[in-house]
C-alpha cells in the first residue's frame, strides 16, 4: 500500500455503489482512480424508490442530464409525504410533510399563532403552499423551468433498478470509473489491520488504498471481514419485514401522485409511490405483531384486488453498525445500516456519506484515522437522529387497534433524547437550537410538520402583537402563493410526458 491515497476500491454496485463512485470521480477527476467491483450473481434489492431534494444537487454535481434521468429511470416528481390514518385512523385523518419550509420559518413563531387563531386549518396547509399542489396533483415546476431548478422544492420517485443501471453507464462512460464484474472471494490484510487487496474470482488480486463497502446487507468488508458489531434498533422501531408489489395504472393517463403516500395499518404502514408507468406499493410491518399471511391480506385489501401480483418478501433487522469507518474501510448504504423506508432516509444517507467521504478524502494514510473519527462521530449522530424522527411518528399516534401501536408508545421504547425533546416542546416550538449540528438530517421544520400534523398537544407561548401580525402576513403569503401556483403549474403527468418528448431547458 502507498502512503498517498490514490486508488479507491468500491465493493458493490446498486444505487449506493454507483452514487459513491460518481461523486468521487466527479469531484477528484484524474487525481483518484476509482474502481467498482460488483458480483454479476448478486442483484440489487431495488425497492428504494424515494429520494429527497438533495438528489437534485447530487445528480447535477456528477454531471447528469435531468431530462435523461427522467427518461431512463421512469422517474417522477416527489414533493413530500402524505400520512393517512396515522393519528387515529378515523375518516379524514391525514396530513402532509412537504419539502418546502413554512413561509417565514425562523422569522416568526408560526406555531403559536396557528394554535391560537387558526387551529381548524391543518398546520401544513396554513403555512405552506405545497400540500395544496400535492392534493391537486401539480408538478413542482413548469416546462420552461431549467433542469434541476424548481418552483416548488422537489425530489424524485424512481425505479431503483433502472437508476443503478443509469448511474453505472454514466460513471463508466462519462466519469472514467473502472468497472469489474467479479465476485470477491477473499480479503488480503496487512500487519496493521488494513486491507491491502481483494481476491477476485476472475481478475485475481485487486489492491487499493481505501475500500468502500457498498455490498448491501451482506456487509462483506465492515461486517464480515472486520466483524464490526451491528446495533439492532428493534427495541425502538419494530418493523422488520416488507411485502412489495408493482401494479399498473387503470389507464395510461391516470394521475401520478406528487407525493409518497404512507397509510397506517394495524401492524405497520403501506407505501404508495407513483411512477410514470406504474405504482410501487409495499406493506412494512413487524413480524412480532403480524404473520406474513396477515400482512399479505392487508396489502391485498389496500390494493382492492385479490388478483394483484404475488408480493416480494423482504426482511431486515433495523439498526446500524457500531462504527462505519474502520482502518482503511468505510461502509456506505445498507452495509452501514438500515432502519425502515418511512421518510425515505436510505438514499439520503448514502448521499450524505458519499459527499462527506469525497469532501474529506484523506490525502495520505496518516490522515485517514482523523477523517475516520470525524466521519464516525457524524454518522452515529445522524443515524440516531433518523431513529428519533421516525419514532416520533409512532409515539404521537393515538391508534389503539393493535399492540403494534400501543407498544410503540411505551416509554421504555422511546429514546431518551426524544423523550426530553417532547417534554421541552410541550411549552415551546421545535427550533434550530434543538438541532445544532451543521447538516442535520431533518431540520426543525420537519419536526414541526410531524408534531402538529399529528395533533401534538403542546401549547406554545404567544410572544406579542407584532409577532402575531408578522405570522398572519406569512399565512397570507402562503395563501397567495397557493392561489397563483395552482393555475400556473401543469399536472404531474402532463409535465412528465413533456419531459419524455422534449426534455427540459438546460441552465
pTM for this prediction: 0.96
Q: What's the confidence (pLDDT) of residue 464?
A: 66
Give pLDDT, residue 100.
98
Residue 331: is it exposed, middle or buried by C-beta count within 10 angstroms (0-12/13-18/19+)? Answer: buried
Helix 54-61 crosses helix 345-359 at what angle (to 10 degrees)? 40
Helices 444-453 and 110-117: angle between axes, nearest 10 degrees: 20
d(C-alpha 51, C-alpha 283), whole Å:
19
Q: Tens digit of pLDDT for each residue in 39-98?
A: 998 777 665 699 999 999 999 999 999 999 999 999 999 999 999 999 999 999 999 999
Q: Which residues of the chain have pLDDT under 50?
A: none
CA distance 499 to 75: 11
Residue 309 has a pLDDT of 86
Residue 159: φ, ψ to 5°:
-85, 110
The three cell numbers of residue 307 are 388478483
Helix (H) or strand (E) holding 7: strand 7-11
Q: What is the DSSP letter of 218?
A: G
CB-based contacts of 17: which residues, under 8 Å, 6+ apart? 10, 11, 36, 38, 212, 214, 333
Enumerate residues 6+ apart whose C-beta is below 8 A from 378: 356, 437, 439
Task: Specify the pLDDT at position 13.
Answer: 96
Helices marked H in 40-159 — which ranges?
A: 54-61, 66-72, 110-117, 123-127, 130-135
Site of grid cell 403552499: 129
Q: Rounded CA gap, 357 and 375, in Å? A: 8
Question: Considering only CA atoms, which of 479, 430, 128, 76 is closest in space to residue 273?
Answer: 76
φ and ψ at residue 233, rounded to 5 degrees: -115, 25
Instruction: Retrieve residue 66's grid coordinates.
Output: 435531468
pLDDT tens digit sequence for 487-498: 999 999 999 999
Strands (E), 70-168: 76-78, 80-84, 94-98, 155-157
Cell numbers placing 15: 444505487
Q: Is 106 left (phi over 0), alpha (psi -120 to 50) or beta?
A: left
Separate counts of helices (H) and strands (E) for the chain: 15, 21
Instruction: Return phi, psi of residue 437, to 5°.
Output: -80, 150
H or E element at residue 485: helix 465-488
pLDDT at 306: 59
Nearest to 75 by CA among 151, 174, 167: 167
| CA quadruple 306, 74, 449, 409: dihedral, nearest 10 | 40
How is 9-29 classified by DSSP, letter by letter? EEE--HHHHHHHHHHHHHHHG
- Cα(495)–Cα(489) distance, integer angstroms: 9
pLDDT of residue 465: 65
Residues 74 and 274: their CA atoms lie apart, in Å, by 10
Nearest to 430 by CA among 451, 414, 415: 451
What domains does the chain contain, in order, with CATH numbers? 7-49+159-231+318-386 (3.50.50.60)
The upper half-sphere exposure of residue 413, i.e. CA atoms within 13 Å in the direction of its Cβ, equals 17
Provide the terminal-to-terminal Cα distance of the chain, rounded to the nearest Å.
43
Which residue has cell 412480532?
288
Grid coordinates representing 322 are 457500531
Backbone angles phi, psi at 169, to 5 degrees: -65, -40
Distance of CA 400 to the CA centre of its chain: 28
DSSP string for residues in 311-350: PEEEE---EEES-SEETTEEE-GGGTEE--SGGGHHHHHH
Amino acid at each position: 500500500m502507498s502512503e498517498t491515497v490514490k486508488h479507491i476500491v468500491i465493493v458493490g454496485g446498486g444505487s449506493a455503489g454507483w452514487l459513491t463512485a460518481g461523486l468521487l470521480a466527479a469531484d477528484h477527476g484524474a487525481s483518484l482512480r476509482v474502481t467498482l467491483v460488483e458480483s454479476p450473481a448478486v442483484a440489487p434489492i431495488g425497492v428504494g424508490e424515494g429520494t429527497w431534494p438533495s438528489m437534485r444537487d447530487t445528480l447535477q454535481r456528477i454531471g447528469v442530464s435531468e431530462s435523461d434521468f427522467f427518461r431512463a429511470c421512469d422517474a417522477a416528481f416527489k414533493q413530500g409525504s402524505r400520512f393517512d390514518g396515522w393519528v387515529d385512523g378515523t375518516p379524514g385523518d391525514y396530513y402532509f410533510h412537504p419539502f418546502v419550509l413554512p413561509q417565514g420559518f425562523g422569522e416568526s413563531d408560526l406555531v403559536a399563532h396557528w394554535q391560537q387563531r387558526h387551529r381548524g386549518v391543518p398546520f401544513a396547509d396554513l403555512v405552506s403552499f405545497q400540500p395544496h399542489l400535492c392534493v391537486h396533483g401539480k408538478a413542482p415546476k413548469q416546462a420552461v423551468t431549467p433542469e434541476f431548478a424548481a418552483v416548488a422544492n422537489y425530489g424524485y420517485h424512481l425505479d431503483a433498478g433502472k437508476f443503478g443501471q443509469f448511474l453505472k453507464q454514466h460513471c463508466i462512460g462519462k466519469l472514467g470509473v473502472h468497472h469489474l464484474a467479479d465476485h470477491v472471494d477473499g480479503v488480503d490484510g496487512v500487519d496493521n489491520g488494513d486491507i491491502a487487496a481483494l481476491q477476485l474470482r476472475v481478475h485475481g488480486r485487486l489492491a487499493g488504498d481505501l475500500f468502500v463497502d457498498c455490498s448491501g446487507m451482506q456487509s462483506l468488508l465492515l461486517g464480515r471481514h472486520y466483524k464490526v458489531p451491528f446495533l439492532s434498533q428493534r427495541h425502538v422501531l419494530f418493523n422488520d419485514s416488507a411485502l412489495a408489489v408493482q401494479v399498473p395504472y387503470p389507464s395510461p393517463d391516470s394521475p401520478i401522485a406528487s407525493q409518497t403516500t404512507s397509510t397506517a395499518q394495524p401492524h405497520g404502514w403501506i407505501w404508495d409511490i407513483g411512477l410514470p408507468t406504474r405504482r410501487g406499493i409495499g406493506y412494512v410491518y413487524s413480524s412480532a405483531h403480524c404473520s406474513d399471511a396477515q400482512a399479505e391480506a392487508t396489502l391485498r385489501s389496500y390494493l382492492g384486488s385479490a388478483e394483484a401480483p404475488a408480493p416480494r418478501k423482504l426482511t431486515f433487522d433495523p439498526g446500524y453498525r457500531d462504527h462505519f469507518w474502520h482502518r482503511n474501510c468505510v461502509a456506505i448504504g445498507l452495509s452501514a445500516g438500515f432502519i425502515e423506508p418511512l421518510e425515505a432516509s436510505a438514499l439520503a444517507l448514502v448521499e450524505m456519506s458519499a459527499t462527506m467521504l469525497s469532501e474529506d478524502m484523506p490525502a495520505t494514510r496518516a490522515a485517514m484515522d482523523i477523517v475516520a473519527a470525524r466521519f464516525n462521530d457524524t454518522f452515529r449522530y445522524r443515524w440516531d437522529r433518523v431513529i428519533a424522527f421516525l419514532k416520533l411518528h409512532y409515539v404521537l399516534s393515538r391508534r389503539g387497534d393493535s399492540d403494534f401501536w400501543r407498544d410503540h408508545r411505551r416509554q421504555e421504547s422511546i429514546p431518551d433524547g426524544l423523550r426530553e425533546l417532547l417534554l421541552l416542546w410541550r411549552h415551546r416550538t421545535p427550533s434550530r437550537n434543538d438541532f445544532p449540528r451543521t447538516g442535520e438530517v431533518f431540520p426543525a421544520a420537519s419536526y414541526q410538520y410531524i408534531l402538529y400534523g399529528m395533533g401534538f398537544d403542546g401549547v406554545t407561548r404567544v410572544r406579542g402583537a407584532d409577532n402575531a401580525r408578522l405570522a398572519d402576513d406569512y399565512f397570507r403569503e402562503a395563501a397567495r402563493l397557493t392561489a397563483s401556483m395552482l393555475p400556473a403549474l401543469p399536472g404531474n403527468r402532463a409535465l412528465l410526458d413533456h419531459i419524455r418528448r422534449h426534455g427540459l431547458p438546460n441552465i
